[in-house]
A and B are shown apart, each in its own frame.
Chain A
Amino acid sequence: MLVWSRSGRRLAWFLAALLFAVIYGLPIAMIALASISGQWNGVLPSHLTLMHFANSVQGESGDQLRVSIMTGAIASAVALVSGTCAALALRRIAGAPKRLLDAIFFIPSAVPSVSVGLGLLVAFSQPPVLLNGTTLIVVIAHFVLISAFTYGSVSAGLGRLAPDYEQVAESLGARAFYRLRRVTLPLVAPYLIAAFSLSFAFSMGELGATVMVYPPGWVTLPVGIFSLSDRGAIFDAAALTIILAVTTLIVLIGLSRVSTKAAVR
């Protein structure tokens, strides 16, 4: 603690709490309130109702939630595998080549997601590779956007792994694949889980690229929210937002539980 006096510390806490409440708390509280309001004309809404939640469960929103979860899970899983493979393959490279490859990997996250979507659309709208209007192109868009997370997270984990573990394993007779399976991957497991969590959360909220490429049969929840609010159904959109946030949160909490377990061992 940098602030020593008791009153000073209290003031610091108060200011921090206030800032936190305004920046994070207020928007969320507004959305939460909106999701249960029947009417909102004054400072606070009136005619509180759960109707919007009922709407969302009954309507196409249930499908959209499923689509979002599936897209997120598949894209994150593929990104995890490929990002891990890339990180493992490139870990022995150092210096300028390493920095160049890192830069290439991080390009997609530096480009606006709308542009990534547009790029995919242009690239795959003509033979020989025609993916336009398929489910696959949505997953690919998400994968392109999140693969940098996994690569970055896993290479950070591998970078912090002392070489001793793998060398001792090798001296004990473990060949490359056995070593990877029994030593390397378990030791970087927290990083793998963090990578997956981050990509999943990102994918669940992704709109920019998705909106460019999604086919009619594969509407993700953020796209649904976007079109609802576009149509002026703000309260329904708010209810969906809450559902999206809670679902993502549940998955993240579950994953972080697993991660703590992996780290503690």
Chain B
Amino acid sequence: MKVPTLPSAANHHPALPGNPPPCPSSQAGEGSGGRRGRVWEGDAGGLRRGKAAASDPAGASSGIAFEDVTVAYGALVVLDSLSLVVKPGEIVALIGPSGSGKTTALRAVAGFVRPTRGRILIGERDVTNVPPHDRNIGMVVQNYALFPHMRAEENVAFGLRARRAPDAVLRERVPECLRMVGMAAYAKRYPRELSGGQQQRVAIARALAIRPQVLLLDEPLSALDAQIRRSMLEELARLHRDLPSLTVLYVTHDQTEALTLANHIGIMRDGKLVAFGSAQSLYRHPPNRFAAEFLGRANLLPVKALVSDVGGLTHVRFGDAPLLARNHHGLPAGSECLLCIRPHDLRIHAGDPATAPLRGTVRAVQWQGEMHSIALEVGGHPLRLTCAPLKAPPEPGEMLALHFDPEDATLVPEDGDG
């Protein structure tokens, strides 16, 4: 396929000294030109910045849609009827335990896994049968996979060269992308001369250089040590602030990464999407037991819902103890369900123990620096409480009275956890 030579090279006004990298100017809409050509032309990838975003035609950046996507290896179904939409400019995190099919979902978007059923769309385009090299995606894998025989800048230039971008584009785009990830000073280094975190940055720059429509990140931080992971997380958040129209699908098993970065979170289990929602709502009102436990390690107590009451609160019964909780999911009166309360929302009851809604036996006390974590047993059920470091932490075996704000407790259906 021939890459059209285009006036668009003129679109790329060189960066003014001291200015942020140039805003790729907008250009003709989705339908025009060959897909391959467009990639380095302008905003096909939707990497627009700041004010430029406002002036761009709507829909210039693309989302991802899974429509009933099933992937099976022989009889083994590893992705089961996944339907999921990532809106343009959004970060969606897919989280789930190892082997739940997250990577498979991501690789299906990249084109390295063929769905046995269903469709995948990038933007308006059905890419289900499009080969990977024509999908215009940026992909960052867990071990970075920088080409070891190329310097950092050659790695970043790889995608542009493969698409036969003119030299002018290369000269501008490669330093721009390296600068974006703070690696401008390392352009001449070989991957083996870079630390893990630096390699990761180069891998991200390499993916961004082609101005992809969507960026796919597969556990990008899991190979880094804790401190670098935290700073890379901030970097990624900053990167997305700089490139607000970049659509990102982010696969991780780390809930902190998901909660920090993502607008929406999907929770996977055994190849199924068992929960999907905005990060906040998923955390506050998990739709099922698995979501509650996986995202934020919630405490779950089996309760029986009684009557719904004023202010959206519902009376429930935990054993003999009456409790109050929000009934976000509108569970009917009389149903068996779970009361979900986050460890940090549980408080030690200072007043008369008789007035406390819950009482439990302390099983273990852990001091973790910035907080105390106390494991309790309440009516035969384990419960975890975290709080600011205590001067006089309770002893194991002690009885502890607990209370919580009913606004912080939510009812979760017992079944239906996929």
Contacts and interface: CB of A to CB of B under 8 A. Distances in A.
B159 A172 contact: yes
A182 B147 CA distance: 9
Interface string B132-149: 111111110101010111
A174 B148 CA distance: 17
B97 to A, nearest CB: 22
B136 to A, nearest CB: 7
A14 interface: no
B354 interface: no
A168 B139 contact: yes
A162 B134 CA distance: 22
B36 A164 contact: no
A190 to B, nearest CB: 11
B39 A173 contact: yes
A40 interface: no
A13 interface: no
A183 interface: yes
Given A162-B145, A178-B162, A265-B149, A171 B110 contact: yes
Interface residues of B, number: 30
A259 to B, nearest CB: 13
B367 interface: no
Contacts of A231: none
A234 B111 CA distance: 66
Nearest to B159: A172
B158 A172 contact: yes
B145 A187 contact: no
Interface string A166-181: 0111111111001000
Q: Which of B131, B139, B216 has the most CB of A within 10 A?
A: B139
Interface string A14-46: 000000000000000000000000000000000
Contacts of B210: 172-173
B387 to A, nearest CB: 44
Contacts of A189: 149
Contact of B137 (A171, A178, A183): A171
Interface string B27-49: 00000000010010000000000
Is chain A's binding surface mostly helix, strand, loop or mixed? helix
A173 B145 contact: no
B119 interface: no
Nearest to B191: A265
Contacts of B163: 173
B202 to A, nearest CB: 12
B283 interface: no
A186 interface: yes
Contact of B145 (A165, A174, A186, A262): A165
B139 A167 contact: yes
B342 interface: no
Interface string B387-409: 00000000000000000000000
Given A167-B110, A167-B139, A172 B145 contact: no
Contacts, number: 73
Q: Which of A172, A178, A182, A183 has the most CB of B within 10 A?
A: A172
Interface residues of A, number: 20
Q: Which of B112, B133, B136, B141 has the most CB of A within 10 A?
A: B133
A26 B207 CA distance: 59
Contact of A173 (B110, B159, B216): B159
B285 interface: no
B37 to A, nearest CB: 11
A11 B74 CA distance: 58
A148 B132 CA distance: 33
B206 interface: yes
B145 A164 contact: yes
B190 interface: yes
A175 B145 contact: no
A265 B191 CA distance: 9
A142 B287 CA distance: 70
Contacts of B190: 265
Contact of B147 (A165, A171, A178, A262): A165
Contact of B133 (A165, A173, A182): A173
B143 A164 contact: yes
Given A167-B112, A265-B190, A174 B162 contact: yes
Contacts of B135: 171
Given A162-B143, A168-B139, A186-B149, A175 B162 contact: yes
A174 B162 CA distance: 5
Q: Which of B131, B139, B149 has the most CB of A within 10 A?
A: B149
A175 B133 contact: yes
A238 B110 CA distance: 62
Interface string B90-133: 00000000000000000000111000000000000000000111
Nearest to A189: B149
A164 B141 contact: yes
Interface in B173-225: 190, 206-207, 210, 216
A162 B143 CA distance: 10
A182 B110 CA distance: 20
A168 B133 contact: no
Contacts of A175: 133, 162
A160 to B, nearest CB: 13
B143 A173 contact: no
A182 B149 CA distance: 9
Nearest to B148: A265
Contact of A168 (B134, B136, B145, B161): B145
A183 B206 CA distance: 15
A128 B396 CA distance: 94
Given A171-B133, A189-B149, A262-B149, 6 more contacts: A164-B141, A171-B137, A174-B158, A174-B162, A175-B162, A265-B149
**CB-based closest 5 A-B pairs:** A172-B159, A164-B145, A174-B162, A171-B139, A265-B149
15 contacts: A164-B143, A164-B145, A165-B147, A167-B139, A170-B112, A170-B132, A170-B133, A171-B132, A171-B216, A174-B162, A175-B133, A175-B162, A182-B162, A187-B148, A262-B149
Interface of A: 162, 164-165, 167-175, 178, 182-183, 186-187, 189, 262, 265
